[in-house]
C-alpha cells in the first residue's frame, strides 16, 4: 500500500506526459493508466509549522507576521500556505515538503524501474523504459530539493522575466531550504479557466524561447502552473521540474519543423536520426515512406492549420508499429507543447500551437548565425542550384507574423508597415546572411535583365534584314531566364508582397521558355516594376523611419550590388571566350 499511496498521485499528475510517450506504453495500457484517480490529502498545519521552524531555525512568529491556518493548495510532494514576511511585509507563498516523501518515493521509483524493465522485456519495446524512468526520477529528486527549485526560478526569471506580459515570481533564497520554499505570492486565475487567446500567444512565444532559444524549459506546465494575473500577465509557477534542451537537439527540432512544413520527408527522416528517434542504421527509405503517409495529409492545409495533437497521435501509432525509440528527453519536450495546445483549445477550438510557433521558427532560421541553421537555410532556398524564391517568400511572410504586443496581434494590411518590416529585417545585423543571398540573386537578375534587353534590341535591329527572321539571336541561357523571373518576384517582394499571387499566375517557375517573345514580355514586366513610381514611393517613404544603422546599410547596398554585377558579367564574358 505504501507504494501506491505515494506513487499514484505522481502518476496521476504526470499521466499526460507519459501518454505523449508514443511507444513508451501501448495504447491499452495508457487507457487503463488514465483511469487512476487518487485524492491528495493535506498533512496537518502543525506538522508544517514545525518543519518551517526546524528548517529556518526561527519561531514562526519571527518569520511571518501572519500565515494562513490551512494550506491553500496541496500536491503530491508538498503543500502551500499564504503568509506575510515580518521583515518586509511582502505577501509570499510558503511551500512545505510532505514529511517522509523522499524515502517513500525512493522505494517507489525502485519498484517502478523494475516494472519498466519487465514491461520492456515482455512487450519487446525498442525504447529503454528504464532510462525514461531514470530521467523522470532524476527530475523528481531535483524537484524534492526546494533549493534547486528556487535556483531554477531565479534562472527562469532572468531568461524570460523580461518578455512582455510574462511574470515570473521572485524567489526568497534567505527563507529557502531543502524542504521549505518561500516565493512571491501571485494572484490570478488558472489559464485553462479564462478565455484569453492573447495569454496563449504569450505562452507560445515564451515556450519558443524556452525550447528553441535558450534550451532551459518548464517541463511541468500543467494548467495549475500557468496563471493569468488580474492585471493581464501570464505567470509561471512551480519550477521543480525543468528540462535542458541541448543546442544540437534544438537545431534538429527547428530543421524538422522546416522540413515538415516544406514536405521534405526524406530530410525529415534524417532529422529523426539527429533527434535520436531512430538509429542511424534504420532503413531511411522505409522511414521516409512511413513519415510521408503520416504527415502529407496533415501539412496539406498549410502550417497554420497543422494540429500538434493530431501529429502526435498519428506519429505515435506509426512509431509504435515501427518500434522507433524515444529518447528520455523527448516526452518532457513534447508534453510542454502538447499541454499548451490543450489549454489553447479551451479558448479557441481551432488554435494550432505549431502554427503559432512556426513564425518564430521562421524568424530564427532567417536570423540565426549558427553554421548549422545557415546550412539548413541554404539547402532550403536552393534546390539543385536553383533559387526557390517562393520558399523565401513563405519564410518572410511567416516571420513577419511573429508578434506578441497586443496592438500588433491584429491583422495589419497597411502596405507601409509591411515594407518597413521587410527592410528593417533585411538591413539589420541578424539579416546579413539573407541580405547576402538577396544581393546575389538581384545581381543575377539584373545581369539577366541586361541580356534580355540586348536580345530585344538585337531582335528589333535584325527584324528588317532578309533571311534572319528564322534565326534566334538569344544570348540567354535557361538559368538567365530563371534569374529574370526571380528578379521580378524580388521586386514584388520589396513592394510589400503586393501582386505576388498575380505574379505567380503570370510567371510560373515550372514553365519552360518557349520563345523569344516570352523573354521580352518578362523583361517588360521587370522594367515596368522598376519604373513604377507608385511602387517605389512606399519604399522611399519608410526610409527616414528606419534606424540610422539600417539607413547606412541601405546606402552601402548599391555599391555592393554593382560590384557583384560587374564580377558576374566579367566571369560570364571570360567563360564564353574560353568556351
pLDDT tens figures, 506-517:
334 444 444 444
The DSSP 8-state label assigned to residue 127 in this structure reads S
The mean pLDDT value of the chain amounts to 76
- Report residue 60 as a C-alpha cell: 514562526
Burial per residue of 439-471, b for 16 or more beta-carbon CB atoms within 10 angstroms, e otherwise? bebbbbbbbbbebbeebbeebeeeeeeeeeeee
Asked if 43 contacts 75 with a C-beta cutoff of 8 angstroms, the reply is no
Q: Is 89 left (phi over 0), alpha (psi -120 to 50) or beta?
A: left
CB atoms near residue 504 (< 10 Å)? 14
Average pLDDT over residues 438-453: 86
In whole angstroms, what is the distance from residue 292 CA to residue 281 CA? 19
Indicate the SS3 state at residue 82.
Answer: strand
Asked if 497 contacts 397 with a C-beta cutoff of 8 angstroms, the reply is yes
Of the residues 128, 220, 271, 368, only one is catalytic, namely 220
For residue 255, pLDDT over 80 is answered with yes
Asked if 425 contacts 401 with a C-beta cutoff of 8 angstroms, the reply is no
pLDDT tens figures, 145-191:
899 999 999 999 999 999 999 999 999 999 999 999 999 999 999 88
For residue 228, pLDDT over 60 is answered with yes
In whole angstroms, what is the distance from residue 223 CA to residue 233 CA? 15
For residue 247, pLDDT over 80 is answered with yes
In whole angstroms, what is the distance from residue 283 CA to residue 400 CA? 38
What is the model's pLDDT at position 11? 45
Average pLDDT over residues 314-323: 64
CA distances from 62 to 95, 173, 182, 331, 535 (A): 18, 17, 15, 44, 72
For the question of whether the overall pTM of this predicted structure is more than 0.95, the answer is: no
In whole angstroms, what is the distance from residue 208 CA to residue 215 CA? 9
How far is C-alpha 83 from the geometric centre of its chain's CA atoms?
38
pLDDT tens figures, 14-27:
444 443 333 334 44
Which residues are bridge partners to 234 per DSSP?
A: 166, 228
Tell me which of 533 and 65 has the higher pLDDT. Answer: 65
> What percent of the chain stands above pLDDT 70?
72
pLDDT tens figures, 336-387:
777 777 777 777 777 777 778 888 888 888 888 888 888 889 988 998 888 9
What is the model's pLDDT at position 502? 40
Residue ranges of the alpha helices (H) in 66-224? 101-123, 129-143, 146-160, 197-208
The verdict on whether 220 is a catalytic residue reads: yes
Amino acid at each position: 500500500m505504501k507504494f501506491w499511496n505515494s506513487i499514484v498521485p505522481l502518476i496521476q499528475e504526470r499521466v499526460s506526459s507519459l501518454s505523449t510517450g508514443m511507444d513508451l506504453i501501448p495504447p491499452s495500457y495508457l487507457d487503463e493508466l488514465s483511469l487512476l484517480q487518487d485524492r491528495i490529502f493535506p498533512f496537518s498545519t502543525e506538522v508544517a509549522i514545525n518543519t518551517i521552524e526546524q528548517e529556518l531555525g526561527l519561531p514562526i512568529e519571527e518569520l511571518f507576521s501572519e500565515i494562513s491556518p490551512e494550506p491553500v493548495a496541496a500536491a503530491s510532494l508538498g503543500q502551500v500556505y499564504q503568509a506575510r514576511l515580518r521583515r518586509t511585509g511582502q505577501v509570499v507563498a510558503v511551500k512545505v515538503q510532505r514529511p517522509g516523501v523522499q524515502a517513500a518515493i525512493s522505494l517507489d521509483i525502485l519498484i517502478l524501474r523494475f516494472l519498466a524493465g519487465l514491461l520492456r522485456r515482455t512487450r519487446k519495446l525498442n525504447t529503454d523504459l528504464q532510462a525514461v524512468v531514470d530521467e523522470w526520477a532524476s527530475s523528481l529528486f531535483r524537484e524534492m530539493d526546494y533549493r534547486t527549485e528556487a535556483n531554477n526560478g531565479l534562472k527562469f526569471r532572468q531568461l524570460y522575466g523580461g518578455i512582455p506580459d510574462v511574470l515570473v515570481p521572485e524567489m526568497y533564497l534567505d527563507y529557502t531550504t531543502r524542504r521549505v520554499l518561500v516565493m512571491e505570492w501571485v494572484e490570478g486565475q488558472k489559464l485553462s479557466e479564462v478565455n484569453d487567446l492573447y495569454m496563449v500567444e504569450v505562452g507560445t512565444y515564451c515556450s519558443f524561447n524556452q525550447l528553441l532559444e535558450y534550451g532551459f524549459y518548464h517541463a511541468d506546465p500543467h494548467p495549475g502552473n500557468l496563471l493569468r494575473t488580474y492585471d493581464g500577465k501570464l505567470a509561471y509557477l512551480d519550477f521543480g521540474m525543468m528540462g535542458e534542451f541541448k543546442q544540437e537537439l534544438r537545431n534538429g527540432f527547428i530543421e524538422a519543423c522546416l522540413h515538415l512544413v516544406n514536405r521534405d520527408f526524406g530530410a525529415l527522416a534524417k532529422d529523426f536520426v539527429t533527434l535520436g528517434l531512430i538509429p542511424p542504421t534504420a532503413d531511411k527509405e522505409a522511414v521516409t515512406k512511413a513519415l510521408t503517409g503520416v504527415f502529407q495529409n496533415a501539412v496539406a492545409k498549410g502550417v497554420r492549420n497543422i494540429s500538434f495533437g493530431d501529429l502526435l497521435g498519428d506519429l505515435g501509432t506509426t512509431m509504435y508499429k515501427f518500434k522507433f525509440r524515444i529518447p528520455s528527453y523527448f516526452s518532457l519536450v513534447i508534453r510542454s507543447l502538447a499541454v499548451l495546445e490543450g489549454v489553447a483549445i479551451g479558448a479557441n477550438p481551432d488554435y494550432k500551437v505549431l502554427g503559432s510557433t512556426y513564425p518564430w521558427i521562421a524568424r530564427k532560421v532567417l536570423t540565426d548565425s549558427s553554421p548549422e541553421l545557415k546550412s539548413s537555410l541554404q539547402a532550403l532556398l536552393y534546390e539543385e542550384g536553383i533559387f526557390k524564391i517562393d520558399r523565401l517568400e513563405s519564410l518572410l511572410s511567416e516571420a513577419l507574423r511573429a508578434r506578441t504586443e497586443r496592438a500588433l496581434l491584429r491583422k495589419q494590411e497597411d502596405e507601409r508597415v509591411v515594407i518597413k518590416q521587410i527592410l528593417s529585417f533585411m538591413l539589420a545585423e541578424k539579416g546579413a546572411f539573407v541580405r547576402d543571398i538577396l544581393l546575389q540573386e538581384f545581381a543575377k537578375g539584373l545581369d539577366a535583365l541586361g541580356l534580355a534587353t540586348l536580345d530585344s534590341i538585337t531582335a528589333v535591329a535584325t527584324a528588317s534584314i532578309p533571311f534572319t527572321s528564322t534565326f534566334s539571336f538569344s544570348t540567354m541561357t535557361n538559368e538567365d531566364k530563371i534569374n529574370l523571373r526571380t528578379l521580378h518576384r524580388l521586386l514584388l517582394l520589396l513592394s510589400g508582397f503586393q501582386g505576388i499571387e498575380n505574379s505567380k499566375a503570370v510567371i510560373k517557375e515550372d514553365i519552360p521558355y518557349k520563345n523569344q517573345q516570352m523573354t521580352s514580355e518578362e523583361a517588360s514586366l521587370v522594367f515596368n516594376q522598376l519604373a513604377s513610381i507608385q511602387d517605389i514611393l512606399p519604399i522611399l517613404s519608410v526610409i527616414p523611419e528606419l534606424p540610422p544603422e539600417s539607413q547606412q546599410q541601405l546606402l552601402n547596398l548599391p555599391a555592393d550590388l554593382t560590384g557583384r554585377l560587374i564580377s558576374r558579367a566579367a566571369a560570364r564574358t571570360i567563360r564564353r571566350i574560353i568556351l
